[in-house]
Amino acid sequence: MIEVVDVTLLILLSVTALAIIRQRNLFAAIMLAGIYSLLSAGLFVVMDAVDVAFTEAAVGAGISTILVLGTLALVGHEEHKPKHRPILPLFVVTVTGAILVYGTVDLPPFGDPANPIHHHVAPHYLEESEHEIGVPNVVTSVLASYRGYDTMGETTVIFAAAVGVLLLLARGPMPRRVLVGGRWVTVAADADEPPEEGDKGGGDETAEEAEPGGVADG
C-alpha cells in the first residue's frame, strides 16, 4: 500500500518538475514550485520525517513562494527566450546527473538498519534521550540539546542571510542620520527635510556623539 503512495507522489513530483521546465510564465512556474515543495513534504511524511516535512511545507511551499512572488512583482512575469542553444547546458546537466546516480551505487541501501549511520551516535540518542533530556520528541532533543551547537550555527546563518539580503535590498527604508545644530539625529529615509533644531516630534533622536563623517546614507 505504501508503495502506491510512494510511486504516486514520485510521479507527481516528476510531472511537476517537467512542467516547471516547460513553463515560460514565471508566475505559473513559481506556483508549480510551491506544489513541488508540498509534494516533497508529502514524501517526507511517508518516510516518517515529520519535522522535515513540516519545515518543507512551511518554508518551501509557503514563505519562499511568497518571497519569489515578491521578486516577480519587481522584475516582470515573462521569461525571455534564451538566446543560446540548450545543447551545452543539457550536456552538463546529463553528465552531472549521471555522476550523481553513479555515486548512489556506493551508498548503503536505503532504510537498512545495518547502515553505518545507525550505529554511530544514533543508538545513544534514541536510548538515552528519555533519561538524559526527558523530552519525548527525540528530534527536538537532538536538535536543541545534543546538537545544540549546530543549531546555534544554523540560527546564526539565518541571521547572516537576513543581513545580506537587507544590505542588498533594503536601501530605501533605512533611516539616515543628519547633522542638525551640532547633533546627529536619525530621520526616516523618506523625510525630505531634516527636522528643525529643538523639534522633539520625531522620537527617534539620538543624543550620542557620532564619529566624524559617519552619516550613513541609507
Footprint on this chain of other proteins (rule: CB under 8 A): 50-51, 53-55, 58-59, 62-63, 66-67, 70-71, 73-76, 131-137, 139-141, 143-145, 148-149, 151-152, 155-156, 158-159, 161-162, 165-166, 169-170, 172-173
CB of 36 to other proteins, least distance (A): 18
Question: E strand or H helix at 178, and its extent?
Answer: strand 176-180
Query: What's the grid cell of residue 65?
Result: 513562494
CB of 61 to other proteins, least distance (A): 11
CB of 31 to other proteins, least distance (A): 15
Please, which residue, 63 or 93, has the CB nearer to other proteins? 63
The interaxial angle of helices 64-75 and 26-46, nearest 10 deg, is: 170
Indicate the DSSP class of residue 126: H
| Phi and psi, residue 37, nearest 5° | -65, -40
Please, which residue, 15 or 133, has the CB nearer to other proteins? 133
Please, which residue, 16 or 65, has the CB nearer to other proteins? 65
Please, which residue, 115 or 145, has the CB nearer to other proteins? 145
CB of 197 to other proteins, least distance (A): 24
CB of 98 to other proteins, least distance (A): 35
Question: E strand or H helix at 44, and its extent?
Answer: helix 26-46
Q: What is the dihedral of CA 149, 151, 155, 157, to 10 degrees?
A: 80
Please, which residue, 16 or 129, has the CB nearer to other proteins? 129
Query: What's the grid cell of residue 107?
Result: 551508498
Residue 95 CA: distances (Å) to CA of 18, 62, 101, 127: 18, 32, 10, 43
Coil, strand or helix at 26: helix
- Measure the CA angle with vertex 52, ends 50 and 55; round to 5°: 110
